[in-house]
Amino acid sequence: MRPKIQTVCGFGCGSSLMLKMKIDDILKANHLEADTFCSDVGTCLANPCDVIFISKELGEQIKDRAKVPVIIIDNFMNTKEVEQKVLDYYKTNK
């Protein structure tokens, strides 16, 4: 499986980029494959993807309209939290 993972922040170039890098590290460490890219909250729902990783505040604005799973991250720099949520996604979407 090689999902398209979208990370989202306000403008698609600050925290979403940090989260994308974090997820890339985790995928590599766990020998998982994915296409990751970042984007802004205004356009993210129009971008084709399999799952969205996003902060709590922004996630609440899009989760009712999203057609793919929206995964909320509380602490973008916490490897444990991000890793757990990435691995859970892979487990439930084999």
Partner 1 sequence: MEKIALQDIEVQVEASNWQEAITKAGQLLADDHKIDIGYIDSMIQAVNQLGPYIVLMPEFALAHAAPSSHVKETSISLITLKKPVYFGSKNDPVSIVMCIACVDKTSHMELLQEVAKKLMTDGILNKMKQCRTSEELYALFN
CA–CA gap between residue 45 and residue 76 (Å, rounded): 21
Cβ distance to partner 1 smaller for residue 60 or 93: 60
- Which residues in this chain contact partner 1 in the complex, by CB under 8 A? 9-15, 17-18, 21-22, 40-41, 55-58, 61, 74-79
Residue 51: other Cβ atoms inside 10 A: 20
Cβ distance to partner 1 smaller for residue 76 or 90: 76
Cβ distance to partner 1 smaller for residue 27 or 41: 41
CA–CA gap between residue 30 and residue 16 (Å, rounded): 21
